[in-house]
A and B are shown apart, each in its own frame.
Chain A
Amino acid sequence: MKTILLSVLSATFLSIGAPVMAQEFGDAEDGAQVFKKCRACHMVGPDAFNRTGPHLNELFGRRAGSVEEVTYSDGLIRMGNDGLMWDVESLDAYIENPKAFASDTRMNFPGVKDQGQRNDLLAFLRQYSASPANIPGSAPTAMPREVALSDETLAIEGDAEYGQYLSSECTSCHQIDGDNDGIPGIVGWPQEDFVVAMHAYKEKVRPHPVMQMMAGRLADDEIAALAAYFGGLE
């Protein structure tokens, strides 16, 4: 995950006692413009209904993959079952690069790469969620938290031979032919996506106890080694 800056709509949301820090405020009006990228598939607001993608009312605090009568990818449903609730941090990561966040997502969208635009978009969407938990400007998340990967970490050249040895621990569950049934396939990913995903488990941004444990004990160079090995398959 890149550095995630939290957007705050209004100072009135800052609760008493929360430290006030330098923050980048998203602009909901600008976010409405960014939302045009999403409108082909998503609706939000009083008359919203599900189109290709789910409606986005009450998105903050909603369990991933949980809107009825929407066809989700197995991966997103699994993440929801593992406990992923959409909040500003997970939405920011998802919108930045949907396929890196959930490799089999049906959201066929390259992502919003610009942090400022994402802040604006989330500020816009936040207006349609009543839940005050884990949304921009609310107390629990008003403090900037980082799940940051430095350029140095991303630049580590993976030792694919070491990765091959380490991979044997992965293939006790993940099939080397990339089969995606029950347990997701992990071969042939872009290396950076793989690295980001593993660090997200390591930092416990992504849910799933097994993966948090497996990633949790991998050093940066070991994650890079695995990314290099699995990325080179198929």
Chain B
Amino acid sequence: MTMNRRQFVGRTALGAAATMAAPHVYAAGHGGKPKVVVIGGGAGGATAARYINKDSDGAIDVTLVEPTRTYYTCFFSNLYIGGFRTIESLAHSYGSIAAEGVNVVHDYAVGIDRDAKTVTLAGGDTLPYDRLVLSPGIDFVEGAVPGWDVSVQNKMPHAYKAGSQTELLKAQIEAMPEGGTFAMVAPPNPFRCPPGPYERVSMVAHLLTEINPTARILIADPKEKFSKQALFEEGWNKHYSGMIERIGPDFGGNNVEVNADEMTLTIDGVVENVDVCNVIPAMKAGVICERAGLTEGNWAPVSGHTMQSRIDENVHVLGDACAQGDMPKSGFSANSQAKVAAMAVRGALTDSRVFPAKFSNTCWSLVNADDGIKVGASYEATDEKISMTEGFISDTGEDAALRKATYEESLGWYAGISSDIFG
């Protein structure tokens, strides 16, 4: 996940300010090598930067632009809320990527000139590119939840970009009065991490069962159905009976309004006083995509063969920000797409071999201690889109040993993908 470029608060802003002290000159000194600029150091961008750099053996200059020095993965951040991970265990630095030879620039990319093929940074530098890889993650659609905007995100956190928001949300849950109400406003499709809100509810329920067992959880959801629904609902009934209430669109879950000063959530005209309100608004591609004129609707359309923008063939858009077809917006998907893009970029800028695109995704979720579930699929590129070829999902009623094994597998996956992304 890439940090929001303008709205992020706390440690991020400090980190960004610190980097602005040392302006660089990029245009000179690179000889005649082709240049790739990658915007966004999350699962998509960091993977792409690493793979282009390492597989081209120095034949391509790779610059990674990422405002934060410490990146907190969104995946597994719900496990921090549930008490299964520390926040430090989600933190990653760019030291290894830099040591491998990528130019890591901690700054905000504020503009893209697609005709001149340059990226402008908040610090004033301009980076020329032959190919641009954009992996900025998500931003929120303004006005999506009446009464909420980013100015109230510290009263009603989204915690959908991990780090200080996640810590804030957990602290608010821990401070809830006995028997209080945790409310979530769930987002409409499509959004980052389809099982994420429901894994979060599971983890909040787990935490509350331990520290505040009479508390209640209220979900206002504009969607009729959600990812792994049967599995989550089975788990909620089994582990957290009576604690969780979900109001779908049939009962007005799509008609909500919040008031951060009053701490109220209004669902279909009925006002609820709540103690914590986790608002996850509708999402769109990171705002730089829109500024660069690369979006149609809320997302940036791409070709599945190469992840190239359908609007500009010199730009590849990865991960949550792109509209590609059937893949869910996930860190795993972004990592998978980055490898296809890296191959395509190398093929275009050097004479390296190009192979057919293959993609895959698996999303593990934790329902309770040692109760892991998963869903996944493989994909291929067609001219029209990235198309699903085969999928699987955990079964309801699986025995405890398999669920524990699935959770342990997810721990292995976290270690694996983290080292694949960050070196």
Contact = CB atoms under 8 A, between A and B. Distances in A.
A68 to B, nearest CB: 13
Contacts of A10: none
A176 to B, nearest CB: 7
Interface string A173-211: 111110101110000000000000000000000000110
Contact of B419 (A81, A162, A175, A216): A175
A213 B378 contact: yes
Contacts of A67: none
A66 B413 CA distance: 24
Interface stretch (A42-50, A113-121, A136-144, A164-172): A164-172
A168 B51 contact: yes
Contacts of B409: 78, 182-183
Interface range for B: 35 or more
Contact of A172 (B405, B411, B420): B420
Interface residues of A, number: 31
B411 A182 contact: yes
B376 A173 contact: no
Given A169-B336, A210-B392, A181 B419 contact: no
Nearest to A74: B408
B413 A183 contact: yes
A222 B374 CA distance: 26
A214 interface: yes
Contacts of A216: 390
Contacts of B417: 172-173
> Sorted from nearest, which 3 A-B pairs have the closest CB atoms?
A182-B412, A183-B412, A81-B405
Given A182-B413, A210-B362, 17 more contacts: A78-B409, A82-B402, A83-B402, A162-B355, A166-B355, A168-B51, A168-B339, A172-B336, A172-B360, A173-B362, A181-B415, A182-B415, A209-B376, A212-B392, A213-B376, A214-B378, A217-B390
A176 B343 contact: no
A181 B355 contact: no
Interface in B387-415: 389-392, 401-402, 404-405, 408-413, 415
Contacts of B411: 181-182
Nearest to B346: A165
Nearest to B420: A171
Nearest to A184: B412
B402 A81 contact: yes
B353 interface: yes
Nearest to B360: A169
A210 B376 contact: yes
Interface of A: 77-78, 80-83, 161-162, 164-166, 168-169, 171-177, 179, 181-183, 209-210, 212-214, 216-217
Interface of B: 51, 55, 332, 335-336, 339, 343, 353, 355, 358, 360, 362, 374, 376-378, 389-392, 401-402, 404-405, 408-413, 415-417, 419-420
Nearest to A183: B412
Contacts of B55: 164
Nearest to A78: B405
Given A78-B405, A168-B339, A209 B355 contact: no
Contacts of B336: 169, 172
A183 B390 contact: no
A160 to B, nearest CB: 12
B137 to A, nearest CB: 18
B335 A166 contact: no
A182 B411 CA distance: 6
A174 B419 CA distance: 10
A217 B335 CA distance: 19
Nearest to B401: A81
A175 B353 CA distance: 24
A171 B336 CA distance: 10
6 contacts: A166-B358, A172-B420, A175-B416, A176-B420, A183-B409, A183-B412
Contacts of A213: 360, 376-378, 390-392
A20 to B, nearest CB: 36
A131 B95 CA distance: 57
A175 to B, nearest CB: 5
A178 to B, nearest CB: 11
Q: Which of B362, B409, B412, B417 has the most CB of A within 10 A?
A: B412
B412 A181 contact: yes
Contacts of A164: 55
A110 B177 CA distance: 63
Contacts of B391: 213
B362 to A, nearest CB: 6
Nearest to B338: A168
A165 B346 CA distance: 12
Nearest to A63: B401
A18 B189 CA distance: 52
- Central interface residue in A78, A82, A168, by most chain B CB within 10 Å: A168
Nearest to B379: A217
B150 to A, nearest CB: 32
Contacts of A77: 405
Contacts of A173: 362, 412-413, 416-417
Nearest to B331: A172
A148 B323 CA distance: 42
A169 B55 CA distance: 15
A214 B390 CA distance: 9
Contacts of B405: 77-78, 81-82
Contacts of A210: 362, 374, 376, 392
Contacts of A81: 401-402, 404-405
